[in-house]
Every structure is written in C-alpha cells, then in structure tokens.
Structure 1
Amino acid sequence: MKPVQAELQEVIYNSRNPTRRWLHTTRKNWIDNAIERLSFEGMTACEIGPGSCIYLPKLAKKAARLYVADVESQHLAVARSYSDTSNKITVLEDDISASKLPENYFDLILFSEVIEHIPDTALVLNNIVSRLKVGGVLILSTPQKYSFMELACKIAFMPGVIGLVRKIYKEPILETGHINLQTGREMRKHFSDAGLSVVEAYKCGLYIPLFSEFFGEFSVKVQRYIESKLRYTALNHILWTQCYILKRQG
C-alpha cells in the first residue's frame, strides 16, 4: 500500500477537476522555478518530506550532492528508486524534530507542504536552520490557516459530507493531516526567531467552493484573475498557499 501523502500527490497533480489540478501545479511551478534560480554548480541540497518525489528529478539534476529525508521509511520508496541509479543521492529515514542530518552542511533545503503536519514549528525551523550553511537557502511552502480551501476542508471532511464530495470529484479525496496551520504573520515571526530572513514571498491558490466543482476550466480562468488582484493586498490570506525563499543569517 502506498503512503497516504504520496498517493494524494499522485492524484492531485493529475486531477480530473481543473481547479484542483491548477491549485497544486501552480505551487509546483513556483518551487520548480525557485530551485532553477537558486541552484549553482557544486550545490549540496536536501529535501525533507519528499512525498511522491515530484521535485527530486530537478534537485538531482542541479545538486552535486542530494539528501532525501523523511520520518517514515515507506515514504522514501520512490527516492530509493532514484538513489539506486545515482551515487550522489543519499536517502535517509530521519525525523527533522530530532534530526541526524549533518549540521552547517547544506546550501539549499526544500521543505514543501510538510510543516503543517508537525506540531512544533519553532523546533522544526531551528533544526532546519542548523543544517544550513550560513547564507544557505530554505525553500518552504505551507497552507494558510484562514484560506478558503482550508476552511472548506473543515466542512468537506465532516461525516455525511465527505461521501458527497467524493461523488462530485469521482476520484480519491483523502484527509490532509494538517494539524499545524499558520498565518503569514505567524510564519514570519517563526522565521525571524529562527534566524531566517525572507528573500522572497509568494501567495497563491484561490479556491471558491462550488464554483470550482461545477464550472470546469472557466472557474480556473476566473479564480486566476481574482487571485492576481488579491495577491498583494490585505485579503491575500484567503489564498491557499504561502511560499517562501528564506536565507540563514550569520
């Protein structure tokens, strides 16, 4: 049986629902672009919590040395298939809350859609920062606490509702496992406390309930337009995902 998060990722990037597919590919495209821009020759990189390893091919191509770490060994099955054919990839079962990863070692760490699954934000960020070289970069993404998507999920997974949602989507709808959602302001406070400066911030993912489910590609066009108008306003907290490029200070 595939791990839940890996199975979920395989579904969402190929969803039959245009909005669901767009919400996730938008985040993926931003992170792919960040990796491309931040990579350099001889880079040592790490992805913590790789899921279905959608970023691993690009990281492996760009890095001279790549670590892939997850707390669950079974989550690393895909990563091991890559490491079997490349001696520059190290796959490690590791809990970032009590990590065995080398300190002051990485030029770049990717931590996408993971922190919301871990209860102690401060502990995790401090542990990640200690693994970065001074001046090293962390690429991080996580859902926004009060986004329309997260609020809708609270309703969608209620007993009696989830069955209807699955009938509408006609594909797997799995529990997200989000136990630690943060606002943008809360995340920035954590970053500052951990010794991280924000180099770049981006918010994306407007989800309008029901409209997304019943208006196909038209709903994506409308939501994309509205999202572009909200992104740099006080209302951007309703967008689903907050994405950051962060740098470890000296």
Structure 2
Amino acid sequence: MHLYSSVYDELYQRVPHHPQLTRKQDPAKNLERLSKELKFIKLFLTKGATVAEVGPGDCLFSFEMCKKAKKVYGVDVSKEITKNKTTPENFQLVISDGISIPVPEGSINLIYSNQLMEHLHVEDAKEQLQNIVKALAPNGQYVCVTPNRINGPHDISKFFDKKATGFHLKEYTFTELKKLFLSVGFSSVSGYWGLKSLYFKVPNGIIYLAETIISIFPFKIRRLKIFKPFLTIRIVGKK
C-alpha cells in the first residue's frame, strides 16, 4: 500500500467525525457546497463526456456530474469514505497510489480536482500531472481548484505559522502552477476567477499582476476575505 493510501485510510478510521465522513449528515451545507462548484464545472462539462474526479472525497460532486456525463471515475487513495454508499450506474471508484491515474490512457475528456494539489509532495504532484496528461483525450481539459500560497497557509498551520506545515505539503501561486502545467505537456493554461458563483476567464497576465500586487501587502492584509476571489486558484490545462 502506498503512503498516501495508508495515511488517509488510518485518518478516516481513527477520526470518525472527520468532515469528509460527516458532510452527508448536513444536506443543506452539501447543497450549497455542490451548487457553487457545479456552476463552475458546467463551463467545461459537456453532455456524454467521460470524466474523472481526482480526490473526490465523499464523491457527492462526482455523483452530480454523473447526471450529465457518460461515465465518471472517482480516483482516490481510500475506500473508507465511499464504502457502503449507493452509487450511480455510470460511476466507478478506482483506487490510486496518490500519483497514478488508473484509467484507460487517452480516454478522459475532463479531469477535475478540488483541494488536492496542495496535499501532494512537489515531486509527486509533477508525476501525477504527467499521468493526468496521459489520461486525457486529445483536447481534454484538467480543471484544478487549489488554495493560493499568497493568502495561506490554508491547513491547520494557519493558526501558528506563515507557511503550510500540516497536511498541505505544498501550496502554490497560479503563476507557479501555470509553469508546472506547461512543463508536463499541457498545450495551454488558463485561469478563472469566481465572484458570487459567477465564474469568468481572466487573462494570465492579469492574474500574475494581481498576485504580484497582493503579495506585497503584509501577511495579515493578504489574508483578508476581500482578496479571496482573486487568489483562489482555478487553473485549467488543455492537452
């Protein structure tokens, strides 16, 4: 068993009240969480597409995509969250070592992840991206949502440090991720901002300028909620 699998299996077994396990007990919060991200992913999700969500957690978002997609793979390191769940007929959970994307090569039209990249070691992140490119069909897209290092850290270390030192092994800026995406074979990379569930494409140069300006501010100022829409990373790589 790979380290990622063993760590998260043990986490969910030892912490039965972990948010990933208890979310299903609060339908209202689930609906709010899902509706916001569904509005974003609908910009890329086409009817009849083959989709994969990497790090799907409780898989509720994957289940929602099943309503429009032909096939949805949930690629995760643990079965603990989804065991004993009734799943849609066009959904398949596949277990990864945290780096591999165990689906047929060149078969996926859209790959999505939310709050995943920051949990990977930097070398593993690059290898996983390479595997994502392999899994994508021609012109396929990888939609990645991850917190920005500039207004971080975003894990438990936010209470005592200025750098992620908990379960977030590496937090990035959009500019850093753009460079990484291009280095593994994506033909183009674009970024999006979201304001009150409205999402729009933003020129990369504008995002770079925003990151540069905000990073100049003191630590406490950078973390103000007013900057969150401009810093939350929504990056899309096209094969």
State the TM-score, normalized to the length of structure 2. 0.67
Runs (5+) with no aligned partner, structure 2: 1-12, 197-205, 216-221, 223-227
Paired with 1:97 and 1:204, the residues of 2 have a C-alpha distance of 32
Q: Name 1:44's counterpart in structure 2.
A: 50
Question: Relative to 1, partners in 2 of residues 1:153 and 1:39: Cα closer, same or farther, differing over 3 Å?
Answer: same
Question: Relative to 1, partners in 2 of residues 1:11 and 1:245: Cα closer, same or farther, differing over 3 Å?
Answer: farther
Counterpart selection for 1:135 from 121, 139, 145: 139
Question: 8 Å contact 2:117–2:146 — kept in the other structure?
Answer: yes
Which amino acid is 1:186 matched to?
Answer: E
The alignment status of 1:57 with 2:63, answered yes or no, reads: yes
Q: Name 2:112's counterpart in structure 1.
A: 110
Displacement of 1:241: 2.1
Paired with 2:74 and 2:93, the residues of 1 have a C-alpha distance of 5
Question: Relative to 1, partners in 2 of residues 1:128 and 1:4: Cα closer, same or farther, differing over 3 Å?
Answer: farther
**Larger helix proportion of the pair:** 1
Paired with 1:204 and 1:181, the residues of 2 have a C-alpha distance of 22
Q: Which has the bigger relative contact order, CA under 8 A and spacing at least 6?
A: 1
Paired with 1:30 and 1:146, the residues of 2 have a C-alpha distance of 23
SS at match of 1:62: coil
RMSD: 3.5
Runs (5+) with no aligned partner, structure 1: 16-20, 159-174, 206-229
Aligned residues: 194
SS at match of 2:39: helix
Written as runs of structure 1 = structure 2, the 5 A alignment for 1:150-165 is 150=153, 153-157=156-160
Question: Relative to 1, partners in 2 of residues 1:130 and 1:203: Cα closer, same or farther, differing over 3 Å?
Answer: same
Question: 8 Å contact 1:204–1:241 — kept in the other structure?
Answer: no
Paired with 1:36 and 1:144, the residues of 2 have a C-alpha distance of 23
Aligned-pair identity in percent equals 21
Question: 8 Å contact 1:202–1:244 — kept in the other structure?
Answer: no
